[in-house]
Structure 1
Amino acid sequence: METTRDAAAAGRLLAGVGLGGIFMPESVASMELRTYADKERVCDRGELLGGLYVVVAGRLKIYTVLPNGKTMLLRFSTAPMLIGDVEWSGHYPACNSVEASGRATLLFLGRTHVQANEMNNPPFLQLMIRNLSHKLSTLGNGASTNLLYPTEHRVASYLLTLLPSAGETGPREEIRTTNLMEMAELLGTSYRHLNRVIKRLADSGLLSRRRGRLYVLDEEKLRAFADNHLYT
């Protein structure tokens, strides 16, 4: 992790994701700019967080570890989501594990600065409410996708979530077939069954598998196949 403190850069990054003017100037001046490499951990489930994170670039993978030791994918978070808002408001340890999915940039604001500068700041409190509402909604969607949908639908949802968003180019790192073991674990299936599912999707003309990567050939049909459920 690379860490710097630059109030001007923090202000530009916040403005770039639509959060300009949300935080008090004192908070912006106190923010740390943290850059994470691909697969680098932001926090582990059960860890005590020292404040709030604001995602300003890149993508984070949010997952939980089940009692049997297996992992389950919950969602991906992109700018301008907050990390640690649930834990901060209730003084809880981290509910889930969070890691970078590709290079990701976050702004970190310590708990003392949140307490001193933001507790009576309406724009900040409204941002917290929006984020908490979004997480409540996506938790339900993620649970229904993981529990009620067959593997084919979960694979389709996962791949659609990883498609480059506006302004991004090229396939996401996770669509490399060398990461299928991790993908199988996150989606609650076996590596062998995942390969069978990918072959069926490829035979149906929805995907292509070549040179160690998966490519979406027909996004519209794949989206319909996934019932438009995404891990976001």
Structure 2
Amino acid sequence: MQLIHDATLLESYIEKYGIRQHFPSEVVNHFCLYSASIGDAICTQGEHVTQLYLLVKGKATVSYVAENGKKLIVSFKQAFELFGDIEYIKQIDALHTVEAASVVHLIGIPIDSLHTYAASYPPFLQLLLRELTEKFQLKSRAFSFSLTHGALTRLASYLMRVMTADDGGQLTSPLPTSRTSDIADHIGTTSRHVNRLLATLAKEGIIERRKGAISIKDWEKLEQLANQSIYA
């Protein structure tokens, strides 16, 4: 990640998301703005957590690597999102790896400053409670979705999630098909089955597979297949 030396841009994000109301001024004074490119690690599973991060632009993936080395994409996140809240509360190392899925901007907040100035600050504690509650709700919804919908519906929902821009519109850049293993891990099936499902979607004119990438050709049909459900 790269540090952005732009106080005006930092202040614009603080104002846009009403961030100042959640932190005492002593903590706000320690805010730093960072940028990360696609694939850059924001935090890595098992590493010591030194900062809380607020995602204020772009998308990120949250993944977990099991003891057998298998990687599972747990969720997708976009602004406004908080990373490191559980680790801060429990004072543990990072539970997951968070990587940029697009160009992202994040506000970094030193954990030490939170312990010193915000540990008993009601607005900050309310923010933590809200974020943890929302994460619990999303995980419950995603678990229920996986149990009650077939692989094709889960794939359609996944594609809608990763191909939706921050403003709710459709991304124009194609999705690399080299990520089929990630897709398979996330929707709970095999890479071979994902390839069969992608072939089905291509045959029906919903997607196009060309030059190692996937493009959405019929967003409306994809939305119908997804049953208006979007993976968290």
Q: TM-score range by the shorter chain?
A: 0.7 to 0.9
- Matches of 2:186 and 2:40 in 1, distance apart? 16
SS of 1:21's equivalent in the other structure is helix
| Corresponding letter in the other structure for 2:144 | S
Shift of 1:12: 2.0
- Matches of 2:95 and 2:146 in 1, distance apart? 18
Does 1:164 find its partner at 2:165?
Answer: yes
Residue 105 to residue 120, structure 1, CA distance change in 2 (3 Å): same
8 A contact 1:51–1:114 mirrored in 2: no
- Matches of 1:204 and 1:126 in 2, distance apart? 47
Residue 41 to residue 105, structure 1, CA distance change in 2 (3 Å): same
Shift of 1:230: 2.0
1:99-114 aligned within 5 A: 99-114=99-114
Aligned residues: 231
1:172-211 aligned within 5 A: 172=173, 175-211=175-211
8 A contact 1:23–1:123 mirrored in 2: yes
Q: CA RMSD in A?
A: 2.4
| Corresponding letter in the other structure for 1:206 | I
| Corresponding letter in the other structure for 2:165 | P
8 A contact 2:72–2:182 mirrored in 1: no
8 A contact 1:11–1:20 mirrored in 2: no
Q: Deviations over 1:85-105 (max 9, x none)?
A: 011111122121111101111
Residue 187 to residue 223, structure 1, CA distance change in 2 (3 Å): same
Shift of 1:189: 3.5
Shift of 1:198: 0.8
State TM-score, norm by structure 1. 0.86
Answer with 137-146 or 69-78: which moved more: 137-146
Q: Alignment identity in percent?
A: 29
| Corresponding letter in the other structure for 1:198 | L
- What is residue 65 of structure 2 aligned with on the other side? 65
Shift of 1:228: 2.9
| Corresponding letter in the other structure for 1:3 | L
| Corresponding letter in the other structure for 2:127 | L
8 A contact 1:141–1:229 mirrored in 2: no
Residue 223 to residue 66, structure 1, CA distance change in 2 (3 Å): farther
State TM-score, norm by structure 2. 0.86
- Matches of 1:68 and 1:146 in 2, distance apart? 22
8 A contact 1:34–1:108 mirrored in 2: yes
SS of 2:29's equivalent in the other structure is helix
List alignment gaps of at least 5 residues for structure 1.
Answer: none
Residue 68 to residue 152, structure 1, CA distance change in 2 (3 Å): farther
| Corresponding letter in the other structure for 2:172 | P
SS of 1:131's equivalent in the other structure is helix
- Matches of 1:52 and 1:36 in 2, distance apart? 15
8 A contact 1:10–1:28 mirrored in 2: no
Q: Deviations over 1:83-128 (max 9, x none)?
A: 0001111112212111110111111111111122222333222211
- What is residue 77 of structure 1 aligned with on the other side? 77
- What is residue 50 of structure 1 aligned with on the other side? 50
Residue 87 to residue 147, structure 1, CA distance change in 2 (3 Å): farther
8 A contact 1:19–1:80 mirrored in 2: no
